[in-house]
Structure formats: structure tokens, C-alpha cells
Chain A
Amino acid sequence: MTHQMHPFHMVTPSPWPILSAMSAFTLVSGLVAWMHSKTTTLMSLGLFTTLLTSYQWWRDIVREGTFQGHHTKAVQKGLRYGMILFISSELLFFFGFFWTFFFLSFNPTHNIGMQWPPKGIIPLNPFEVPLLNTMVLLASGFTVTWAHHSLMEGKRKKTIIALTMTIVLGAGFTSLQAMEYYEASFTMSDGVYGSTFFLATGFHGLHVMIGTTFLIVCLARQNLFHFTTTHHFGFEAAAWYWHFVDMVWIFLFTSIYWWGS
């Protein structure tokens, strides 16, 4: 057996990059097919294969790190840079939607009555469910930090409890937001207000679901003794992502819900 004289991970050939690319292609072309012909077969198959390839790819990364010991300090540094760059790209993604919102709301045209909110739109009361959602996400930011500190102190049970509470709060946010969507008097088709509202909050909701899934995976790994007091980057990455999602909501709440009403 050969031994390497450097701390980096020379990854072995894997089928998941090409297969996940094929799956992503199917997913997006299925999305287009759905918009044109009301059939969801291709999109559903694309989503299923994307989930299959993602699961197996991430499963392999856990194997390489936790079971094979490839995640040295140098490799971890790379993973940290990678996660920071990814979250930055997500930030820029939301920046576009906020730009759209501020451009439209600062320059209301005659079509919408030269006012914001546009004529005929009854916005949601920001101090009802949206404020509750803000409290829910802020509390979840607190519980995920509690989970992290418990993990670093080797307190297994407290880590599990705090992480579970974070997940419950995240799921609670999603449920409350779904109810708000149902109760709203306007839809995505209701002019620029509807478009910007549902696009920005909709993508945020999707990110909350992704973040909740990431935390659930961390909870499973914590239960399986994968994390140590000093080596738990998977958890840190999930916590970073969760704080990012929380910050985006704060911006959404203050600009679209509160100022925009």
C-alpha cells in the first residue's frame, strides 16, 4: 500500500459528477417541458435522479472523510473556502431579486398606480405571521449555536436536543409560510408585486427546506457518532448555511414585508 507525502486528498474516479450533470439536465429540460405541455414526467424523473446522485455523492464524501481519514486540516481548509464561496454565490443570487424589488418599488409606473404597494394589492400584515416567522428563525439561530457549543464541549445529548429544536423551528417556519401563501389575497400572476414577492420569498423558502434537510443529515450523523469535539465541519457548514438563510429572511422581512407594505 502506497503512502502519500502530502496532506491533500487525491480523489479517486467517481461516476457521480457525470450522472448528476445528466440528472440536472433532465430536471431543467423537464421543467421547460412542464411549462409548455403540462406533463411532469420528465421533471419528476429528473428530480428523482438528482436526489439519487446527490445522496450517493455526499454519502461517498462522508465515507472519505469520516471512515477513510482523507479530511486533513489542509483538506478541511479547502472545504471551508468552498462553502464560503458557495454561500457568497447564493447571496448574489438573492441580491438580484432584492435589486428587482427595490427598482420596481422605488419607480412605480402608471400601470400600477404610481404607488407601492400597487393599486388593488392588499399586502400581508407584517406584524402577524411574518413577525412570528422572524422570531422562529431568530430562535433557530440561537438553538443551532447552542448545538455547536454543546458539540465542542462533548455534550452529546444536549447537542442532539438543540439540533432537534433547530429542525423543528425550521419545519415550523416552512409550515407557517405555506399557510401564509394559502391565505394571501394575491398570487404570483398579480403584477410586479406578486412576481417579486413570491419569487423572493419562494426561493427563500426553498433555501429553508434545503437548510433543514442539511440539519437533519447532521442530526443523523451526530446520532451515529460521526462528529468529534474538534472535527465536525459538516455541522459547521450546515450552521453557516442556516445563519445565511436567517439573514436573508431578516432582509426580506424588513424590505418586502415591512417597508413594502
Chain B
Amino acid sequence: MLRNLLTLRQISQKAIIGAPRRQIANKVKEKQKLFQEDNDVPVYLKGGLWDVVLHRFTVFLCVFVFLSSSLNVFQKSDKFPSSNFIWLVKPRTNVIAVP
């Protein structure tokens, strides 16, 4: 029983140590060279084409959703012109409740 357990331990250790390991290369030096290049490109675009694509997509989407949500909020307010523009010319007076 003990011999079986010891054999199992040896096999599992060999399996872990002997298995091909995915090595991640240290690319920090390359990245430092890329991002320290004196080319007047801002840091949010300095990574390459993917940066530019993602930036443009983000700007477009953010502006679009912001305008949509602003319209949504504006529509729910009492200032939204439904059929007339009377609220533009009629002076607003503060109504104070009389007890």
C-alpha cells in the first residue's frame, strides 16, 4: 500500500515537472522602447492600429449613448415641447402653496 502511494507520488511529480510548460516571454523592454519613442503620439494611441480603432469606436459609442440618455432624461422633464412652444414664451412663476 505504502509502496503504491510512493510510486503514485513519483509519477505525479514527474508528470508535473516533465510536462511542456507554456513560457511567457518578458516583453517589458520592447514595450518600454515602443512607448518611449519620441514621435509625439499620445499614450492612448501609441500602442498601434488597435489603439486607434478602439479609441474611435469608444468615442463614437460614448457620444451616441450620452446623447441618447440626455434625450431620454429631457423627454421625461416638463420642458419637453410636445405640441406647442408655449413654455418658451410663458413666464414661469414660483407657485407657493397657501396653507
Number of interface residues of A (CB under 8 A): 33
Annotate B60-72 by CB proximity to A: 1 below 8 A, 0 otherwise: 0111011011101
| Chain A residues whose CB sits within 8 angstroms of the CB of B66 once the complex forms | 22-23, 25-26
Additional A-B contact list (19), CB under 8 Å, known A26-B66, A45-B68: A19-B62, A22-B63, A22-B65, A25-B66, A25-B70, A26-B62, A29-B69, A49-B65, A60-B44, A63-B31, A63-B35, A63-B43, A63-B46, A66-B28, A67-B28, A67-B36, A68-B32, A224-B26, A225-B24
| Chain B residues whose CB sits within 8 angstroms of the CB of A224 once the complex forms | 24, 26-28
Whether a CB of chain B sits under 8 angstroms from the CB of A13 is yes
Whether a CB of chain B sits under 8 angstroms from the CB of A214 is no
Contact A52 B43 (CB under 8 A): no
CB within 8 Å for A12 and B43 given contacts A22-B65, A25-B66: yes
Within 8 A of A (CB), among B19-38: 24, 26-28, 31-32, 34-36, 38
Contact A1 B38 (CB under 8 A): yes
CB within 8 Å for A68 and B55 given contacts A12-B43, A23-B62, A60-B43: no
**Band of interface residues on B:** 20 to 34
SS class of chain B's interface: helix, strand, loop or mixed? Answer: helix
Which chain B residue has the least Cβ–Cβ distance from A13? B42
Quick one: which of A19, A22, A42, A48 contacts B72, CB cutoff 8 A? Answer: A42
SS class of chain A's interface: helix, strand, loop or mixed? Answer: helix
Whether a CB of chain A sits under 8 angstroms from the CB of B58 is yes
Within 8 A of A (CB), among B57-86: 57-59, 61-63, 65-66, 68-70, 72-73
Within 8 A of B (CB), among A126-144: none
CB within 8 Å for A15 and B55 given contacts A26-B66, A63-B46, A223-B24: yes
CB distance from A194 to the nearest CB of B (A): 29
* Bound: A69/B29 CA distance, A: 12
Which chain A residue has the least Cβ–Cβ distance from B44? A60
CB distance from A105 to the nearest CB of B (A): 37
* Residues of A that sit less than 8 Å from B by CB: 1, 12-16, 19, 22-23, 25-26, 29-30, 33, 42, 45-46, 48-49, 52-53, 56, 60, 63-64, 66-69, 223-226
Contact A33 B65 (CB under 8 A): no
* Bound: A134/B57 CA distance, A: 43
